[in-house]
Amino acid sequence: MNSFLALLSRDIRLATRAGGSAMLALGFFAAVAALVPLGVGADLKLLGRIAGGVLWVAAVLAALLSLDRLFQADFEDGSLDQIALGPLPLEAAAFAKIAAHWLTTGLPLTLLSPVLALLFNLPEEGYAALVLSLAIGTPAASAIGAIGAGLTMSIRRGGLILPLLVLPLLAPAVIFGAGAVISSLDGLANGALWLLSAFSLAAVLLAPFAAAASVRLNLAG
Amino acid sequence: MSAATFFAMGGYAAYVWPAYGVSFAGLAGAVIWTLAAWRRTQAELALLESLKDGNP
Amino acid sequence: MLFELANPKRFLMFSGKLLPWFWAVAAICLAAGLYLGLFAVPPDYQQGDTVKIMFIHVPAAWVAMMAYGLMAVASAFGLINRHPLADVAAKAAAPLGALFTALALITGSLWGRPMWGTYWVWDARLTSFLILLFLYLGYIALWNAFDDEVRAARATAILALVGAVNLPIIKYSVEWWNTLHQGEGIFVKGGSLIAPVFLWPLFLMAVGYTFLFSALWMVRIRTEILARRARSLQLQAGGL
């Protein structure tokens, strides 16, 4: 447990220092959200309709930003070897890294989202669904993103290929998450949040295994 | 059915024939490419093996 | 039998004998299917002659999905059993799978255009195949991104398996999304598709496409086996 918490707090510390990934994700999220109305026009009704989708896509992209360094930084300076040799099972270590990533990107993004939704004139009914869906769905982004990060850690410029690998796999999260917002606007009770929860739970539980396997294959070479 | 009627495909010729055309081009291209790569590799290997045998 | 085939030499022998038959079956089925589909089938009461695109769209879509399944199974064998030819088989299937996915997308778009009014309308099936295409491209990109072949094989195997697990979820979510957003052009498959006159060309084309894919796949595996031999000879000779 100690090693788990130690790894978790170390990763959080690294991400929240000045210039760390936490600020980067928030800044990117806000920038994209501000850019979209510039692109599609200030029709408040339109913006209100697309708010859920735009914020969801922006959140996923923002979470992706810091993923390529998730394992790569430790791989390059040898810390990953130490983690692998240490008392903590690799799957648990992967889970700790996923948790740290979510706490420093997904969670802040979720907390910032209502403010950005104001810019989009999201109708009142949508706010709860927006925050809930992001809170439930961003862990899936961290989890599945971690698999991609593990697979690409030893590739030069692996960060370029990471979105291509991860984004298609995250399609269900975006669909159910943004779908939850739109459904609440239209007054539909279609279980979008339940579907999203199931997807997120499965992702968070299974991803550490795939991520650990990818760490092993990279350390073995 | 006359040839003209056949080619007109009930007015949908602009969709049916490009669809068939692209499919044919794609598949034929795949066959040609795959077989060319096979022959190239075969030749390469034959060359390397003959060189190896020539230098005991 | 799969493990007897693990020996590259035996695979070369075995596939060498099979190949001519596969090419022959593919050619015959495609020819027969095309003949029946183009000449012997009446226009659909709802879709007119565009229904003939079905004979090249559905088989392509079927092969696209089958190829991914084969890729995933081969990947599993490579990871779990360390079957020596498994990663070669997976790698060989990917570009073919991507090609058939692209063909399914293009023919599907052309099929829908007269009915929907536009070339792309985000219907559930086409959207799923678009995502499948991205999965293929990501897989191929990952293979090419590694210098070390062994690492590449293992990494792509993990990716293929994660994708395979995710694919049914993706398909389900896309269908759910489609009913949620109720697009204008709901693509209805007419009841006339059940008529035998449509089934025979469709079946023949599906079989033809499958055998064509299999033949191409085998040739690509054989090519890679020879290429590996060539590379090891080059290394022995100290490079040429």
The string of pLDDT tens digits covering residues A62-84 is: 999 989 889 999 999 899 999 99
The pLDDT of residue A165 is 96
**Confidence label for C193 from pLDDT (cuts 50, 70 and 90):** very low
Across C119-143, average pLDDT: 91
pLDDT at site C37 = 87
Nearest CA in chain A to C133: A168
> What is the per-residue pLDDT across C76-119, written as a single tens digit (0 to 9) for each?
999 998 887 999 999 999 999 999 999 999 999 998 888 778 87
Contact list in A for residue C177 (CB cut-off 8 A) is 175, 179
C112/C186 Cα distance (integer angstroms): 10
- Please give the residue of chain A at the shortest CA–CA distance from C149: A221
The CA distance from A160 to the nearest CA of chain C, in Å, is 10
List pLDDT tens digits, range A104-144: 999 999 999 999 999 999 999 999 999 999 999 999 999 99
pLDDT of residue C98: 98
Cα–Cα distance for residue pair C169/A140, rounded to 1 Å: 14
For residue C124, what pLDDT is reported?
Answer: 84
For chain C, what is the mean pLDDT? 87
Residue C194 has pLDDT above 80, yes or no: no
Between residues B52 and B42, the one the model is more confident about: B42
Query: Do the Cβ atoms of C190 and C44 come closer than 8 Å?
Result: yes
Distance in Å, alpha carbon of C104 to nearest chain B alpha carbon: 9
pLDDT exceeding 70 applies to what percent of chain C? 90
Give yes or no for B35 touching C (CB within 8 A): yes
What's the whole-model pTM score?
Answer: 0.91
CA distance A34 to chain C (A): 25
Q: Is C80 on the interface with A (CB under 8 A)?
A: no
pLDDT-derived band at C23 (thresholds 50, 70, 90) equals very high
Chain C interface disruption, residue of B9, B16, B44, most C CBs within 10 A:
B16
**Model confidence at C188: pLDDT above 50:** no
Nearest residue of chain C to residue B54 (CA atoms):
C237
* Arithmetic mean of pLDDT, C184-193: 40
- At A178-197, the pLDDT tens digits run 999 999 998 888 899 999 99
Q: Identify from C151, C175, C181 which residue to disrupt to test chain A contact, counting A C-beta atoms within 10 A and taking the largest count.
A: C151
C182 has pLDDT over 70: no
The pLDDT of residue C72 is above 80: yes
CB contact under 8 A, C173 and A175: yes
**pLDDT tier for residue C199 given thresholds of 50, 70 and 90:** confident
Nearest C-alpha neighbor of C195 from the set C53, C29, C42, C39: C42
Which residue intervals of chain A are DSSP H helices? 2-16, 21-40, 44-65, 69-77, 79-85, 90-101, 107-119, 126-152, 158-169, 171-186, 192-220
Q: Tell me the mean pLDDT in the region C9-23.
A: 94
Structure tokens at C236: 């022995």
Higher pLDDT: C235 or B33? It is: B33
Q: Do A172 and C158 touch (CB under 8 A)?
A: no
Lowest pLDDT segment from A14-23, A27-36, C75-84, C216-225: A14-23
Higher per-residue pLDDT: C196 or A64? A64
Q: Are C238 and C56 in contact (CB under 8 A)?
A: no
Question: C114–B12: do the CB atoms touch at under 8 Å?
Answer: yes
> Which residue in the set B16, B23, B41 is minimally distant from C226, CB to CB?
B41
pLDDT of res. B43: 95
Do residue A161 and residue C173 have CB atoms under 8 angstroms apart? Answer: no
Which two structure tokens, joined as six digits, stand for B6?
């056949």
Residue C188 phi, psi (nearest 5): -100, 125
Q: What is the pLDDT of residues B8-30, one digit of tens each?
A: 767 777 888 999 999 999 999 99
If one compares A135 and C198, the residue with the highest pLDDT of the two is A135
Instruction: Give mean pLDDT, residues C181-187.
Output: 47
Q: Verify whether the Cβ–Cβ distance B26 to C103 is below 8 Å.
A: yes
The Cα of C61 is separated from the nearest Cα of chain B by a number of Å equal to 12
3 state DSSP class of C48: strand
Mean pLDDT of C176-201: 62
Contact by Cβ (8 Å): B38, B31: no
Name the 3-class secondary structure at A121.
Answer: coil
